[in-house]
Structures are given as structure tokens and as C-alpha cells.
Amino acid sequence: MNTIKTINRENHPCFNFGARNKFGRIHLPIAPKCNIQCNFCNRKYSCVNESRPGVTSAVLSPAQAIVYFDMIMEKIPNISVMGIAGPGDAFANVEETLETIHRVREKYPFMLFCLSTNGLNILPYFDELIEFGLTHLTITVSAVKKEIGAKIYAWVSDNGRTYYGEEAAELLIGRQLEAVKAFSKAGIVVKVNFILLPGINDQHAEEVAREVSEAGANIFNCMPVYPVEGTPFANIREPKGIEVFKIREKCSKYIKQMTHCQRCRADAAGLLKDDNSEKTQDLLSVALAVSADLVT
């Protein structure tokens, strides 16, 4: 049974290295669609920004997510943070995202609340998120130059129109930096995930770190790409540990570095170091058996 009774921002296991072995997180997999297409992502599996491909499982309705949440809180101690990390993007699934947050907040007012997004469509929901008590935000920014972004994003869809090439990248990058600025100014702890793609953006990492730091981001997570079958970057070289280390060292001139990311699944629960996948799979199956429209 969870016994945490106060909100303490220091208790986020991803944003605070010292908290990683004491507090756990729960990801609620309620957001299947995405509004952009990264060339390293195959959504048949899950968002590689926040999960290892191929090991994602069910997508839950908001009502099922609460059932899952309650069971996790009973079975896994010291969950301090609830997050939505896909498997697509939280703001390509706005209705489900807001309903889930609303339900969780009502039941668990002391839970840290964390979102992970590509940043394209979060700003229209700024007021609601602040009101719901958002505490931590992750935005994935893998380029701040449109020429480099155009190699990473196949398309960006916004307001019923699809953008390609540099136009798409420019739109996305602009929204990402605006979101970093707005949320950090409002006191939200902002992490930037940077997907390291050898030959594409490895020489660009420092520039991204500098710009997002100037925009107000607090922490930078350089994540080596995980090549996924069936994507344009399926054969990209997976960066070696030493390369990642060197890039983090360079970027640390501008912004604090996260070094303990586990590239978790979209339905992960518990301490970062614990693989609770069997337990979470069982509980997800129970939640899935509940009516998708259940009123709790």
C-alpha cells in the first residue's frame, strides 16, 4: 500500500538521481496516436522516447487506467509519480489524457504528475495542466535546426494539415521551444530528451543543450537511439556508451545531465531498476477486462 502523503518534487526518480532507488513511477498507457512521425519510431510497438520497442502492451481507456492504477498502488510500494508517456503522444490523444489526469488527481492528490510529449500540441492545454498540478514535464527535442529536424521527422500534423521537410521541422521546433519556455517559467521542472542519432544529430547535441537551457529547461537526457525494424532508421548504428558519455560531458557545460534513464516501457511501474513487467502485464490484463466506459 502506498503511504506517500505530501507532494515533494525531489521524489521523482528520473529527475533526481538520489531518488531513483527510493521512489517508483507509474506510466499509464492511454495515448496510442501520434501527431508527428519520427523516422526512428514504429508505433506498432511504442514510443521509443520513453519505452523499449516491442515490449509495450495494452492501451487502456481512462477508466481502465484508474483500475490499473489502484491495483499498482496496492501491490507496489512508494510510487511517487504518475506519468503519461505514450505509447503515442499525450496531446494527440487530448480527451483521454485530460480525463485520465482528472480522475487520477481526484483520487491521488499527493501524487507527482509528469507528462512526456513531443511538444507540438501541449501549449493549448497550459492552463488546465497547471490547474491539475503538473509538476514535471519531458519534451523530446532532437534538433533545434530545421535542416537537421527535416532528417528526423517524416511529417508533422497540425490542425488538419500535414507538413513535410523543413517546414514540418520548423513548426515542431518552434512549438517545442515555446513550450519549454512557458512551462519552465511557470515553475514546472522541465526535462529535455534528446534522441542521439549517429550521423544525423550527434554533432548538434551541444547546440540543442545550449538552446533548451536558455529556454529554461532544467535537465537534459541524451538517449541513444534504439534502432527499430520497419523504420527509415532501422539500420542506424546504435551509439556506444563512450560516445554517449562524451556527448553528455560536452552538454553538461550548459545543463544538468540525466545519466540513469532506463528507456522504460509505456506501461512501466515501480522503481526504475526493477523489472516488474510480469506483474504489470497481469494487472493490465485485469484492467483490460473491465468495461472501457466504467464510471469510478
Q: Which residues bind ligand SF4 (CB under 6 A)?
A: 14, 25, 34, 36-38, 41, 43, 47-50, 86, 88-89, 118, 261-264, 272
> Which one, 29 or 62, has the nearer CB to ligand SF4?
29
Cell numbers for 147:
535542416
* C-beta closer to ligand SF4: residue 108 or 233: 233
Of the candidates 149, 211, 221, 142, the one whose C-alpha atom is nearest the C-alpha of residue 189 is: 221
Write down the least CB distance from residue 100 to ligand SF4, Å.
17
Phi, psi of 37 (to 5 degrees): -125, 110
CB of 138 to ligand SF4, least distance (A): 6
For ligand SF4, the closer of residues 29 and 63 by Cβ is 29
Least distance to ligand SF4, CB of residue 89, Å:
5
Quickly list H helices, the chain.
Answer: 62-75, 94-107, 126-131, 146-152, 165-185, 205-215, 241-251, 277-288
136 or 204: CB nearest ligand SF4: 136
Minimum CB distance to ligand SF4 smaller for 25 or for 151: 25
Q: Which of 127, 152, 265 is closest to 205 using CA atoms?
A: 152
Question: CA–CA separation, 137 vs 206, rounded Å?
Answer: 21
Residue 82 CB, nearest approach to ligand SF4 (Å) = 11
Task: Name, in order, each residue with C-beta under 8 angstroms of 259's C-beta and a sequence gap of 6 or more.
Answer: 17, 248
- The residues near 242 (Cβ < 8 Å, ≥ 6 apart) are none
Alpha-carbon distance 158 to 184, whole Å? 24
| Minimal distance, residue 50 CB to ligand SF4, in Å | 5
